[in-house]
A and B are shown apart, each in its own frame.
Chain A
Amino acid sequence: MNPITFINNINTWIKTSYSMSDEALASYRIVYCLLVFFLIGLPNYSWVANHPAFIYDPPSYSLATFFHTFPSSLFLKSLSILILLLFVFLLFGCYTKWVSVSLSISMIIGQSFAFSFGKIDHNILYVLLPLMMAFSGWGNCYSIDELRRKKASSRPWMVTIVALVVGFAMFTAGVPKLLHGWLDVSTQATHGYFITKYYSNSELALLAPFFKSIDNTLFWETFDYLAVVFELGFLAAVLKPSLFRFFIFLALCFHCINGLMINVFFIGNNVVYLLFLKKDTFQSIQFFIKTYFIKFINLKSFLIFTIIGTLILLYVQSFDSFNELLMAPSVFKLVISFFTSEENLITAGLISIIGLAIGMYSCWSFIKKRIH
């Protein structure tokens, strides 16, 4: 094949394979923000302050390395409120491009300090998503930018870049497993980690006793193989959108099993996966937004939302407590916390179930189409 044709083909593939309409991108923007407000919770870093300098242990290569101790409470509270405001701006699509960039940068600053206790958490996909989508044109519809006629240039192919980043992130989880011998049949790594977690004095996952009772080498070795093949295969799956969507469905199942086994849910990732919903599934979300949400895209609702959001965050911060997921409680968590102390677990479970249900519906409609 002629090299120029080859390059052109790749360029066209990037442009078209995952491309979405401006309306679909805008619907995703709204769903992303609504999920953060009502289900997942806003990032909150106020709890990081007031820890002594002796335990300050930032990653060697991060912004936090330039400091000798945790920042002041005022700084972290202000940063958390800024993030809240940026989310409101993003929801209403006001200065969307720069708000998206600022949102990711603000979260990275906050997390650099939150991860200065000696451990880095891996919710990076959720944090980088607004930055990657900033230039896609996700603020061009259902937004104040649209009302102001300040549309940005549309680059729907940025979704292909997000697919590459998601696939690569999964690949990075598979490589260490491959290098450390997870495919060696004489050891069962998944079983090893499960037992380590089981006896680590943390809360037991819902199905932990059931998994503990399974004493079958083949069962545990299958998990080792599935984990390696699934994580490494994710990157290759980027090349074929329908296969990538199937891998997204597998990822939802994978996180669900992890949650039931060791209480690790990765709920932030689920929000990112939503971007790869099949077009017809997305159309129903789009219909919902067009019918109900668009009425609220005006300055009055924007101000009301900002004021209520800030008051809730200030209320949460006044307790000087932290949330187990580095986030202020979402509306859902605040409500159910009056009835149970397991609000984090219930929310994580609910998000996983919703993700899984949407994934299964997507899979079913795909199979149905193929049959017909």
Chain B
Amino acid sequence: MPHSNQSKILTYYQPLIWFCLIGFILCAQFVFSIKVEEPYPCVRLPGFGSIPEEKDSIVITNFSIAIEFEDGTTVEYPCRKNFPTIPQWFVPYFSNNLLQRQLSNFKKQDQVLFKEWLRHQVSQKIKRDDFQSIEVRENKQVFNKSSHHIQKEVIDSKTYTF
């Protein structure tokens, strides 16, 4: 019986069929993630890729928030440690949003709510809420490989006044 033979062959070669099929899917999704954008889910581990070096130095980008209190004092904190409800390693990515790079088309009402959320997040962490303003800063640090000297400069910032 040809039909039964066919199903027997398919059952026998099931491991090979699955192996090839999974292999093809793995390759296709990897090419897609490189050429277009990484989808989720995607079988991929972090490759890091581009080397963060310029000649004899290593460039480091960090985000921080400078808080000005009502009494005139100012304190600067790293962003990483000031968002209690967001995992630390998400913060550098999410900090782009704080600088409103992806928020330009938001409604005015949303911006007000966003400011309130930011204030709430920071006050939860530092246990104070007498803010005059919160400045989100993107800092560039340059580490000199031969002298081990580190130099810091602010390359972008956005101030939220309360």
Q: Which residues of A contact B18 (CB under 8 A)?
A: 158, 161
Q: Which residues of A contact B78 (CB under 8 A)?
A: 201
- Contact indicator A11/B49 (Cβ below 8 Å): no
A160 to B15, CA, bound (A): 9
A164 to B19, CA, bound (A): 8
Partner-binding segment picked from B35-43, B66-74, B128-136, B154-162: B35-43
A127 located at the interface, meaning its Cβ lies under 8 Å from any Cβ of chain B in the complex? yes
- Contact indicator B90/A117 (Cβ below 8 Å): yes
Number of residues on chain A facing chain B (CB within 8 A): 70
- Contact indicator B43/A47 (Cβ below 8 Å): no
A188 to B146, CA, bound (A): 13
- Contact indicator A180/B49 (Cβ below 8 Å): yes
Number of residues on chain B facing chain A (CB within 8 A): 62
Which of B19, B41, B60 has the most chain A CB atoms inside 10 A of its CB? B41
If the complex has contacts A54-B106, A59-B38, A117-B93, are A165 and B47 also in contact, measured as CB distance less than 8 A? no
Which chain A residues numbered 184 to 234 have a C-beta less than 8 Å away from chain B? Answer: 187-189, 191-193, 195-196, 199-202, 215
- Contact indicator A326/B26 (Cβ below 8 Å): no
Q: Which residue of B lies closest to A177 (CB)?
A: B47
Q: Return the contact of A201 from the options B37, B62, B84 (Cβ within 8 A).
A: B62
Q: Return the contact of B40 from the options A51, A111, A188, A215 (Cβ within 8 A).
A: A111
A47 to B84, CA, bound (A): 10
If the complex has contacts A120-B40, A196-B52, are A55 and B97 also in contact, measured as CB distance less than 8 A? yes
A353 to B28, CA, bound (A): 36
- Contact indicator B45/A169 (Cβ below 8 Å): yes
- Contact indicator A199/B89 (Cβ below 8 Å): no
Residues of B within 8 A of A (CB): 12-16, 18-19, 22-23, 26, 30, 33-34, 36-53, 58, 60, 62, 64, 78, 80-81, 84-90, 92-94, 96-97, 102-103, 106, 110, 113-114, 117, 141, 143, 145, 148, 150
Residues of A within 8 A of B (CB): 7, 10-11, 14-15, 47, 50-55, 57, 59-64, 108, 111-112, 115, 117-122, 124-125, 127-128, 155, 157-158, 160-161, 164-165, 168-170, 172-177, 179-182, 187-189, 191-193, 195-196, 199-202, 215, 321-322, 324, 326
